[in-house]
């Protein structure tokens, strides 16, 4: 009996679907035991009406339609999986939680430099109403597993499909990206934070030690540290490690703790705060909606 799966992208970019294609020929061997009933972009079927064994939902829940579809589809599936970082923690769209939805709509439809919308029309007809706050998928439907990554690495996708095919529970790495990173570690002591692009990084040594922000220490392993292998610091797309809720809080603690305190190299606490242009955007890039404080406090207008 083939395992019947369906994919759906909610407020998605299709990156996760393409990640499946990145399995290349290895898809063929998987397809011997997998029946893909529904997969937008990859298959030309418009609506899923049948029941499936596994549902992979990617993308964030940005509007009412996303929320309704998430509920409708997961009722048809035995196992619902949050596929990709958007579904798992909120992802990049989660950063919209730093703005009022009014601000977001105005920026998108009125004030972008190339927009010519003198009447100031915000779409409202036949457009599903926007959700005020991005919440991770698990706040909308019951999730059995999550597959983090932006996008999840093909190798990881393959391993997880194999776990599903073997009717085994899906397990993720319990380690952090540092475990998969080959750069040499000497001493964790930071004197200043550099923006990526400043200075000349040493390609053999830990990037964080050189002052470049790398989210590796507070990010789940599973991606084989590919970004770092290409000499780019980790941005945390695999989300928080096994026991962690708030990835941002962990990086705040880790970075501030290794800011130099000895006589000669002392980093002033106030100075430390100014070293980041955007603390939340940098430290909680992919996981703001699932952090302890998941949304910026906005000024209340009287009703």
Which residues make up the interface to another protein (CB under 8 A)?
A: 98, 100-101, 132-133, 174-179, 185, 187-189, 206, 208, 216-218, 221, 241-246, 248-259, 261, 263, 267, 269-270, 272-273, 276, 278-281, 283, 291-293, 295-298, 300-301, 303
Nearer to another protein, 45 or 191 (CB): 191
Cβ 138 to another protein shortest distance, Å:
16
Nearer to another protein, 128 or 281 (CB): 281
Q: What is the CA radius of gyration of the chain?
A: 21
Nearer to another protein, 45 or 129 (CB): 129
Nearer to another protein, 33 or 63 (CB): 63
Cβ 146 to another protein shortest distance, Å:
18
Kindly state the tokens that stand for 100: 């009022």
Cα–Cα distance list, 17 to 57, 92, 141, 145, 190 (Å): 10, 16, 21, 17, 39
Nearer to another protein, 28 or 297 (CB): 297
Cβ 238 to another protein shortest distance, Å:
12
Cβ 153 to another protein shortest distance, Å:
17
Nearer to another protein, 14 or 244 (CB): 244
Cα–Cα distance list, 194 to 13, 120, 206, 210, 248 (Å): 30, 40, 14, 8, 18
Task: List beta partners, residue 7.
Answer: 56
Cβ 128 to another protein shortest distance, Å:
18
Cβ 33 to another protein shortest distance, Å:
31
Nearer to another protein, 198 or 278 (CB): 278
Cβ 235 to another protein shortest distance, Å:
14
Contact 237, 15 (CB under 8 A): no
């Amino acid at each position: 009996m083939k395992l019947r799966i369906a994919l759906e992208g909610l407020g998605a970019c299709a990156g996760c679907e393409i990640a499946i294609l990145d399995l290349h020929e290895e898809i063929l061997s998987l397809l011997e035991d997998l029946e893909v009933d529904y997969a937008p972009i990859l298959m030309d079927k418009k609506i899923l009406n049948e029941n499936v064994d596994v549902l992979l939902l990617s993308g964030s829940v940005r509007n009412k339609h996303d929320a309704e579809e998430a509920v409708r589809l997961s009722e048809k599936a035995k196992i619902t999986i949050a596929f990709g970082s958007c579904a798992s923690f909120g992802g990049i769209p989660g950063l919209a939680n730093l703005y009022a939805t009014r601000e977001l709509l105005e920026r998108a439809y009125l004030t972008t430099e190339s927009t010519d919308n003198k009447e100031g029309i915000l779409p409202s007809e036949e457009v599903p109403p926007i959700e005020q706050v991005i919440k991770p998928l698990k706040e909308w439907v019951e999730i059995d597993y999550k597959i983090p990554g932006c996008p999840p690495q093909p190798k990881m996708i393959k391993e997880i499909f194999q776990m599903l095919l073997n009717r085994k529970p899906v397990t993720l790495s319990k380690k952090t990206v540092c475990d998969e990173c080959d750069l040499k570690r000497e001493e964790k002591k930071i004197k200043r934070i550099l923006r990526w692009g400043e200075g000349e990084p040493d390609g053999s040594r830990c990037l964080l030690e050189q002052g470049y922000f790398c989210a590796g220490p507070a990010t789940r392993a599973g991606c084989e540290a590919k970004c770092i292998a290409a000499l780019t610091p980790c941005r945390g797309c695999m989300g928080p490690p096994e026991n962690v809720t708030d990835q941002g809080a962990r990086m705040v603690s880790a970075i501030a703790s290794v800011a130099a305190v000895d006589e000669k190299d002392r980093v002033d606490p106030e100075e430390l705060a100014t070293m980041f242009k955007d603390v939340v955007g940098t430290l909680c890039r992919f996981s703001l909606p699932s952090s302890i404080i998941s949304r910026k406090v906005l000024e209340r207008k009287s009703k």
